[in-house]
């Protein structure tokens, strides 16, 4: 069911001229790669609570889709996380139990430059 909702949302955003991050589903909740948009690239990062459709191993913002940026997470790994202005932008494809935060303290690889990032909740493992 979640896969169908995510796919429907991605199609709707693409039809409305959404960003590349929207089209890729960056930031969406997931349980497997099939819940993301595997035809284009993001994978389900299951190390985060609720999963997080994203990319791992970026070195620069240029390695990330439009409207996302390279962020070094507390686990020492770089991820492409969505850029946001408020928490609502982070949770269009996430349920209440797995909400991401729009964090102004994210460690952007190339510097914050006034940006915030959608940081998913830790898994608690």
User: Residue ranges of the domains in the chain?
Assistant: 2-119
Kindly report, residue by residue over 19-59, the tens digit of the pLDDT: 666 666 788 999 988 888 766 567 888 989 999 998 889 99
16-20, 85-89, 108-112: which range is least confident on average?
16-20
Retrieve residue 3's tokens: 């896969």
Does residue 82 carry a pLDDT above 50?
yes
What value does the mean pLDDT take over residues 100-123?
A: 93
Does residue 116 carry a pLDDT above 90?
yes
Does residue 10 carry a pLDDT above 90?
no
The continuous run of DSSP H or E covering 12 comes out as helix 2-15
Kindly report the average pLDDT of the chain as a whole number.
80
What value does the mean pLDDT take over residues 88-107?
A: 93
Indicate the burial class of 76 (C-beta count within 10 angstroms; 0-12, 13-18, 19 or more). Answer: exposed
Does residue 84 carry a pLDDT above 90?
yes
The predicted pLDDT at position 8 comes to 37
Write down the pTM of the prediction: 0.76
Among candidate residues 57, 74, 52, 53, the one with its CA nearest the CA of residue 120: 52
Does residue 73 carry a pLDDT above 60?
yes
Contact 23, 32 (CB under 8 A): no
């Amino acid at each position: 069911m979640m896969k169908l909702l995510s796919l429907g949302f991605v199609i709707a955003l693409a039809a409305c001229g959404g960003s590349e991050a929207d089209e890729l589903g960056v930031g969406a909740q997931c349980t497997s790669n099939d819940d993301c948009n595997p035809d284009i690239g993001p994978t389900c990062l299951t190390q985060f609570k609720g999963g997080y459709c994203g990319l791992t191993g970026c070195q620069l913002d240029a390695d990330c889709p439009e409207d996302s940026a390279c962020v070094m997470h507390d686990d020492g790994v770089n991820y492409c996380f969505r850029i946001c202005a408020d928490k609502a932008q982070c949770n269009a494809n996430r349920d209440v139990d797995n909400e991401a935060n729009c964090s102004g303290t994210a460690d952007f690889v190339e510097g914050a430059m006034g940006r915030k990032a959608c940081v998913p909740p830790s898994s608690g493992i």
